[in-house]
Amino acid sequence: MEINVIGAGLAGCEAAMQIAERGVRVKLYEMKPRKKTPAHKSDLFGELVCSNSLKAMRTESAAGLLKEEMRRLGSFLMKCADKCRVPAGGALAVDRDIFAELVTEGIKNHPLITVINEEVTEIPKDEISVIATGPLTSDSLAAEIERMFGDSLSFFDAAAPIVTAESIDPEYSFAASRYERGGEDDYINCPMNKEEYERFYHELVNAERAPLHDFDVNNPKVYEGCMPVEVLAQRGEGTLRFGPMKPVGLTDPKTGHRPWAVLQLRKENTAGSLYNLVGFQTNLKFPEQKRVFSMIPALHDAEFMRYGVMHRNTFLCSPKILNSDFSVKENKKLFFAGQITGVEGYMESAASGILAGINAVHTIREESTVVLPKTTMIGALSRYIADPEVKKFQPMGANFGILPALESRPRDKKERGKAYAERALKDLESYLNGEKNENYS
């Protein structure tokens, strides 16, 4: 008795561990190191290809609630993440290399998981399987999936550059967290005055971009959460000042005033030797990234250890294909998990892997599959990707808008988040204790 898991990214590793921890053998297929996608650099499992931030930690936030639900479901990846945290204010950020090492070690050392390093080009027939190949599914398997289901969609995703800490000029930067949340040195802030920002903005919107193959540049589909900074900037000169370069909650100690605009840098590793340009996903040509981003005073002599890149992502039109337990409507032995299902975000992907893994075990044991209460963030996301009423399906991350309305809705935003979280965790505990209520329907 064994289950196939295809893909050793976040969703695949979470699914494999959930299955193995329930006493069922797993054959985990991963094409690395024999073959990599353009966005992958490491041979390790659970590689974070974009940001190293797993978003907010506060339980009263949507992202924080999601992670707390995962912890209570015994998430393997949350245990790894908590072991390699780096300072990031109110967010959970990790040292991406140590994180991937912990994930790989845990998977390879589990006695019930067998890792098979080969590319899967056909979906196994009549075997219980979890497809977790991610938004960068190889061309051959993507073609097989499209042949089976059609209606697969593509969009483009981007990553931000990384610079060395020693190349950031302290004369033009200061350490602080927005609104003083977290530690004083969680972020390095790179302030700009009005004139500096306007010169930077002009060069950014006119900088040369890298070509994108197999992509209609006249009609791009770029997911809003990973919009390249140069595309955002084209919406207007003030867009960045209300987005990734917003100065609110920050005071420059050298002037005693709020800057006109601020680029925040977040620690990329536990040693604090590398920093990520927060919100600066980009598709500029590498020399242009060096030229334009070095116009920010604190980065005038920055050493770029990784430039930003843009890559194709693929996801299913899941409402037509999947059930809310992540099984295929026409084949209950086949499950999908991760961003290929249309959940957006690292932890959202991992959370779908938890449910897909649990339900694969239930299927092999001929038990009813699990859908969490609709009041939980994981339950709401799983219902969203399978909702036939969603006509223009797009990737969805954790947010309170997909949860059922509160009976008594507090006016204060923080109190509202707290109320959502309390209700979700109460209903999740009821599920874990074998109780059910109206929120399962």
Give CA–CA dist 217/252, Å, rounded: 40
Q: Report the DSSP pairing between strands 274-277 and 261-267.
A: antiparallel
Can you give the pLDDT at residue 137?
84
Tell whether the torsion through CA atoms of 413, 420, 84 and 103 is positive or negative: negative
Does the structure show a pLDDT above 60 at 60? yes
CA 391 to chain CA centroid, nearest Å: 24
Q: Are residue 245 and residue 320 in the same domain, yes or no? A: no
Residues 60 and 198 in one domain: no
Residue 225: predicted pLDDT = 65
- Dist CA 162 CA 206 (whole Å): 22
My answer on whether 72 and 145 are in the same domain is yes
Burial of 212 (0-12, 13-18, 19+ CB in 10 A): middle
Phi, psi of 153, deg, nearest 5: -120, 160
**How many C-beta neighbours within 10 Å does residue 438 have?**
9
Examine the fold and report which residue of 291, 308, 325 is the final residue of a domain before the chain moves on: 308
Between CA 363 and CA 358 the distance in angstroms is 9
pLDDT, residue 368, reads 95
Burial of 306 (0-12, 13-18, 19+ CB in 10 A): middle
Are 132 and 203 within one domain? no
Among 308, 329, 350, which residue terminates a domain?
A: 308
Strand order in the sheet with 85-86: 53-56, 91-94, 85-86
Instruction: For residue 276, give the nearest of 420, 434, 179, 160 by alpha carbon.
Output: 160
Taking a C-beta distance cutoff of 8 angstroms, is the pair 424, 73 a contact? no
pLDDT category of residue 363 using cuts at 50, 70 and 90: very high
Q: Could you tell me the residue range of the domain that residue 93 belongs to?
A: 2-155+314-440
Q: End of a domain among 292, 308, 324?
A: 308
The strands making up 274-277's β-sheet, listed across from edge to edge, are: 174-175, 187-192, 261-267, 274-277, 162-164, 304-306
CATH number at residue 291: 2.40.30
User: Is the backbone peptide bond immediately before 33 cis, with ω within 30 degrees of 0?
Assistant: yes
Q: Answer yes or no: do 275 and 166 share one domain.
A: yes
Domain count, the chain: 2
Does residue 270 share a domain with residue 216? yes
Residue pLDDT, tens place only, 407-420? 888 888 889 999 99
Strand ranges inside 256-384, DSSP E: 261-267, 274-277, 304-306, 310-315, 327-328, 331-336
DSSP string, 21-69: HTT-EEEEE--TTT---TT---SSSS---S-SEEEE--TTSHHHHHHHH
* pLDDT given for residue 405 in this prediction: 86
Same domain, 19 and 138: yes
Could you give the CA distance from residue 16 to residue 11 in angstroms, rounded to a whole number? Answer: 9
Residue 395: its pLDDT value, please?
Answer: 79
Distance CA 105, CA 13 (A): 11
For range 163-189, the mean pLDDT: 86
SS3 call for 262: strand
For residue 358, count other CB atoms closer than 10 A to its CB: 22
Hey, what are 412's tokens?
């204060």
Of 71, 85, 81, 88, nearest to 377 by C-alpha is 71
269 and 405 in a single domain? The answer is no
Q: What are the tens digits of pLDDT across the range 213-263?
A: 544 433 445 666 678 999 999 999 999 999 999 999 999 999 999 999 999
Tell me which of 33-47, 191-205, 219-233, 312-326 is least confident.
219-233
What pLDDT was estimated at residue 218? 39
Same domain as 298, residue 282: yes
CA distance 386 to 407: 25
Q: Is the same domain home to 297 and 416?
A: no
The answer to whether residue 153 scores a pLDDT higher than 80 is no
CB count, 10 Å around CB of 324?
21
Q: Is a pLDDT exceeding 60 seen at residue 346?
A: yes
CB neighbour list of residue 85: distance below 8 Å, 6 or more residues apart: 92, 93, 94
Q: DSSP letter for 346, please.
A: H
Task: State whether 290 and 318 are in the same domain.
Answer: no
pLDDT at site 78: 98
Q: What whole-number distance in Å separates Cα of residue 67 and Cα of residue 77?
A: 10
Which residue in 343, 315, 367 sits closest to 154, CA to CA?
A: 315
CATH number at residue 351: 3.50.50.60
Range in 54-68, 224-238, 333-347, 425-439 the model is least confident about: 425-439
The count of C-alpha atoms lying within 13 angstroms of the C-alpha of 280, restricted to the half-sphere facing its C-beta, is 28
CB 232, CB 240: distance < 8 Å: yes
Q: List own/partner pairs for 417-423 with CB under 8 A and 24 or more apart.
A: 417/58, 417/60, 417/61, 417/62, 417/65, 418/60, 420/60, 420/62, 420/65, 421/59, 421/60, 421/64, 421/65, 421/68, 423/375
Q: What's the pLDDT tens digit per position in 107-146?
A: 999 999 999 999 999 988 889 999 999 877 888 888 888 8
Angle at 133 between CA 127 and CA 136, to 5 degrees: 155
Residues 204-215 have a mean pLDDT of: 79
Q: What percent of the chain has pLDDT over 90?
A: 66
Helix (H, G, I), strand (E, B) or coil at 401: helix
Residue with the larger pLDDT of the pair 158 and 182: 158
Q: Are residues 132 and 167 in the same domain?
A: no
